Structure 1
Amino acid sequence: MRKLMVLVLALVLAVGFSFGITITMMSPLTGADGAYMDEIVARFNEEHSDIEVVHVVVESSLDMKNKLSMGIASKTAPEIMFIRKFDMPLYLEHFKGFTKQEWLENYGIDTDDIFPGVLEGLVVDGKVVGIPMDIWLFYMAYNKGNFAKVGLDPNNPPKTREEFISAMEALLPITPEGLTPYYENPAWTWIWFHLLWQHGGEVLTDDFKAPAFEKAGIEVCKLMLEMQDKGILPMQVADPGVSFQSGESSVLITGIWTIKPWMEQLGEDFGYAVAPQLGNTKAVFGGSHVLAMPAVMVEDPKVLEAATTFIKYLWDHSIDWYEAGQTPARKSIAESEELKERLPHIYAVSQDSEYVRQFQMFPLISEIEAEIAVYLEEILVLHSMSPEAGMKEAAFAVQEILDDYWSRN
């Protein structure tokens, strides 16, 4: 009996030593990128016998925010959030923060190495409350074979508005009826925001008190209508992936997350390049996944040490994460020979990283995006409103959202 008790005690101690502290990380990662993260987590767990990281996936932004809100209130939130940056504004004051010097001296993370546009909005009262791991930006995917068929240089894709329009017109003769060379969904709001920034616009004023998109938004809508009139952009809602993958359409300006699967599917016909500049301002749509710690979950110094150990591990092994189809948030990696040699496609597209523009850190930015989408459909899909009338109505609707927000805050 005594021997049995000793054995049980030994097992308990062994299990306690093996697992030590368990840290939960919640992320929106599904599919292939989630599998990449699972591999990184598994390697970390193998290398750190005293820390176990559990990766929990919640894809929906709404569901993630609801779980985070309830978790903070009840102190049952994950210790680490791998969260989309535009989902963070409501929680900025609830995340554990450190000064740039503290991040560097205590945890070995140089936040000055992060592209400024990506770090913007994550500093609260002088403390950095989130570490951006990546940038998911827009790039131009194109079919090299189709370019060659019409005499376009497949290794010199268009970079300016004039070059882009000219190239799309050249591709018209080989584009099947019912499709367009640039086969993109005109109702996809992210494309409109991308072009808004390229036309020097912004969604809201710096103080978040008024809309700021009307003038540039009109110009963007006019550009998109012009492309529709020329037959190079669809008039109606489109599902572009299948047509591009089949080679029937030739160009997409889309997210970096598509680059690896299309490389595998299209082979030598697949071309990739930085997004062309279709406006008067060098800019590209982007977002980030950010590592952040709910403060109520890391009050215990041992838990904080375990959480920051994993964050530092991801920081040090971030190039493994970029294989999933993300570009670096860190300048040193974006410019490195290692990235150029290991992931040349990511390296090529990441040369636009310094021009990345992201949604402003306003708590109701998703609601504002949805409101603008209503009027973009009227202008670009239903063709029932002029750009001027549609943008005026959109600005009025957004102002109502802002006025209501500020009346309650």
Structure 2
Amino acid sequence: MRIKKLSLIMLVSLLILIVISLGQAKKITLTFMTPLGGADGAYMDKIIANFNKEHPDIEVVHLVLVNSLEYKTKLSTGIATKQAPQVLFIRKPDMPLFIEQDQFKTFTEKELKQYGIDIKDVYPELLKGIVNGDKIYGIPLDCWIFYMAYNRGNFAKAGLDPDKPPRTRAEFEKAMEALKKVTPKGVTPYYENPTWSWLWVHLMWQFGGDLLTPDFKKPAFQEAGAKALRLLMSFQDKGYLPKSSVDPGPAFESGQSSVLITGVWTSTAWKGVLKENFGAAPAPLFGTHRAVFGGSHVLALPKVMVEDPQVLKAAMTWVKYLWDHAIEWYAAGQTPARKSIATSKELKDKLPYIYTIAQQLPYVKTFQMFPYISEIVDTIATYLEDVLITRKLTPEKAMEMAAEEVMPIIEDYWAGKK
């Protein structure tokens, strides 16, 4: 009898071990590749840790590659060898070649709704280039948009109302004149590197231009780009903006300078440093077209890595978790990709400065989805110094020369399509 009892106990124990073993075998590990280093990565790590606790059958492993070229190379090699990450958090401008080669898992609007994701809730500009007919190649989670960071204390010292930051060029110049009086010698009230290419792109868009024609066959930035440069030159001549390349961070953090037009990713850190003196507002309109520089991190799945239905299910469980817990990510210093969150009371209550910045999302503009857009921006950037630092070239001549140098990049791309 005792032997039978022991046998029964051993049999039950064996069955328990088998069940545990089967449970462990079913656990799916997902590699989640992002470009998030530093504080941004730490915010994402917390979200991943919470997900892993709540989903014992899925483990998300965070792989970080900050540099765009390194990220794209790793992804391309991984897809070719079927060893790529299962889920990507990818910058939208890094996607075009992979979309051209049909390397992302695509969804229809109806399929995404079955996962609980309403793609129509995403701002249309963020979907440009990642939706082709009924094929959706990725899901934008956020928008890294420009805004105006300003020092409320300095505004008050200069006799300006900290609750009414400038919204137009005329208001901005009036504020700069007042702020010059409380700005130390050797610093300007708007203290930014004048040759920062993204700032030039932002202003070029505000003057109605774009980098390329809609068919991606020719440069289209010359006229608007020259206007943007002339604006920056006028800001330099009036003492609002430096005439040399500078690191704007230390001067802004110390309170020496008062204004920066920069990316939302700086907002959380500067709020922590400046505390009650931190102000955030929409980027002022300096040109003739209401536009503000932006970009997006997109959730995408390499097609070859989610052919297994169970892996796809796990991957979309993680994607849906990020979709549902997006506000936790926006605390890192991002604005929502979704209209319903950008205008929500929840965002206004939890992250009021992000809410304020997010109100300009209807006017956001992103890079065209041309595969070599970063090379084009880098090429143009080499001419900004000749206008804004050495002043060897007029804005018009610089843009003409930049367009001539950009044309072979465009031609090489199209030659490869033949």
Give, in angstroms, the shift of residue 380 of structure 1.
1.2
Question: Counterpart amino acid of 1:97?
Answer: T
Determine if the alignment matches structure 1 residue 388 to structure 2 residue 376: no
Determine if the alignment matches structure 1 residue 175 to structure 2 residue 175: no
Q: CA distance change for structure 1 residues 245 and 374 in 2, over 3 Å: closer, same or farther? A: same
**Residue number in structure 1 paired with 2:162:** 154
Alignment RMSD: 1.7
Q: Deviations over 1:249-277 (max 9, x none)?
A: 01000111111111111111111111111
Aligned equivalent of 1:257, options 253, 260, 265:
265
**Residue number in structure 1 paired with 2:83:** 76
Moved over 4 A (4+): 2-13
Gaps spanning 5+ residues in structure 2: where?
1-6
Give, in angstroms, the shift of residue 305 of structure 1.
0.6
Question: Counterpart amino acid of 1:207?
Answer: D
**Residue number in structure 1 paired with 2:314:** 306
Q: CA distance change for structure 1 residues 4 and 178 in 2, over 3 Å: closer, same or farther? A: farther
Please list, as runs of the form range in 1=range in 2, the aligned pairs for 1:316-335 lying within 5 A after superposition: 316-335=324-343
| Percent of aligned pairs sharing the same letter | 57
Please list, as runs of the form range in 1=range in 2, the aligned pairs for 1:229-240 lying within 5 A after superposition: 229-240=237-248
Give, in angstroms, the shift of residue 108 of structure 1.
1.1
Q: CA distance change for structure 1 residues 37 and 385 in 2, over 3 Å: closer, same or farther? A: same
**Residue number in structure 2 paired with 1:41:** 48
Aligned residues between the structures: 407
Aligned equivalent of 1:85, options 72, 75, 92:
92
Aligned equivalent of 2:23, options 13, 17, 24:
17
**Residue number in structure 1 paired with 2:231:** 223
Report the secondary structure of 1:296's partner residue. Answer: helix
Question: Counterpart amino acid of 2:75?
Answer: L
Question: Which moves more between the two structures, 264-273 or 61-70?
Answer: 264-273
Question: Which moves more between the two structures, 235-244 or 261-270?
Answer: 261-270
Determine if the alignment matches structure 1 residue 95 to structure 2 residue 101: no
Normalising by the residue count of structure 1, what TM-score does the alignment of the two structures yield?
0.96
**Residue number in structure 1 paired with 2:35:** 28
Separation in 1, partners of 2:305, 2:121: 27
**Residue number in structure 2 paired with 1:270:** 278
Give, in angstroms, the shift of residue 7 of structure 1.
6.8
Give, in angstroms, the shift of residue 11 of structure 1.
5.1
Alignment check: 8 A CA contact 1:17 1:49 kept = no
Quick check: which has more Rg, 1 or 2?
A: 2
Report the secondary structure of 1:390's partner residue. Answer: helix
Separation in 2, partners of 1:242, 1:304: 45
Give, in angstroms, the shift of residue 14 of structure 1.
2.4
Q: CA distance change for structure 1 residues 169 and 49 in 2, over 3 Å: closer, same or farther? A: same
Give, in angstroms, the shift of residue 126 of structure 1.
2.2
Alignment check: 8 A CA contact 1:218 1:387 kept = yes
Q: Deviations over 1:211-261 (max 9, x none)?
A: 100010010000000011111111010100000000000100011111111
Determine if the alignment matches structure 1 residue 166 to structure 2 residue 174: yes
Determine if the alignment matches structure 1 residue 343 to structure 2 residue 351: yes
Question: Counterpart amino acid of 1:238?
Answer: V
Q: Deviations over 1:37-60 (max 9, x none)?
A: 111111111111211111111111
Question: Which moves more between the two structures, 16-25 or 160-169?
Answer: 16-25
Q: Deviations over 1:185-221 (max 9, x none)?
A: 0111000011111111111111100010001001000
Alignment check: 8 A CA contact 1:257 1:326 kept = yes
